[in-house]
Amino acid sequence: MPRQARRSPNETQAVLLRPPEESQRILVALVEMSLRLHKPMSEEYQRQILKDLSSYPVQAIEYSLDNWGRNAKVLPSLADLLQLLRSWMADKITFETCGNCDTGWVDAGLDDKGNRAVKRCACVSQ
């Protein structure tokens, strides 16, 4: 009975993480950032960034790379980019309130020390 040969990692096909045109936009943003910083960037670094950020929208990645390229002096770590991505995502989150509260907060009267207190409205905590 013949043994089944195992495939090496080099033989397995790469999984397409996003459409090629989106990947190209991200690669262009990576190169622009690298040029602004006057720092060379390996293809392996570019592939790793594409893979690590595959779950984020292209616009968010472009924003993060542009922001880093304008404000930093070294190439970003993954943690640096994730921090910028979180700030971009936080600006995009919206929710609708019931109209009886102030952006999801209602007056809860005075606390034990006589300070005005607020609490989350039921429309936000649902």
Per residue in 94-125, pLDDT (tens digit) is 767 788 887 788 888 888 888 888 888 888 76
Residues 47 and 107 in one domain: no
Q: Which residues contact 27 (CB under 8 A, 6 or more apart)?
A: 46, 50
- Report residue 126's pLDDT band, with 50, 70 and 90 as the boundaries: low
Q: What six digits make up the tokens of 36?
A: 């602004």
Residues 53 and 88 in one domain: yes
Residues 44 and 82 in one domain: yes
103 within domain boundaries? yes
Side-chain half-sphere exposure of 99, counting CA atoms within 13 A: 0
In this predicted structure, the answer to whether residue 3 has a pLDDT above a threshold of 60 is: no
1 within domain boundaries? no
Domain housing 35: 20-92
pTM: 0.63
5 within domain boundaries? no
Residues 39 and 67 in one domain: yes
In this predicted structure, the answer to whether residue 28 has a pLDDT above a threshold of 60 is: yes
Residues 81 and 112 in one domain: no
Residues 65 and 121 in one domain: no
Residues 35 and 74 in one domain: yes
Instruction: Give the DSSP letter of residue 102.
Output: B
Q: Which residues contact 123 (CB under 8 A, 6 or more apart)?
A: 96, 97, 98, 100, 101, 104
Residues 84 and 25 in one domain: yes
Mean pLDDT of the chain: 84
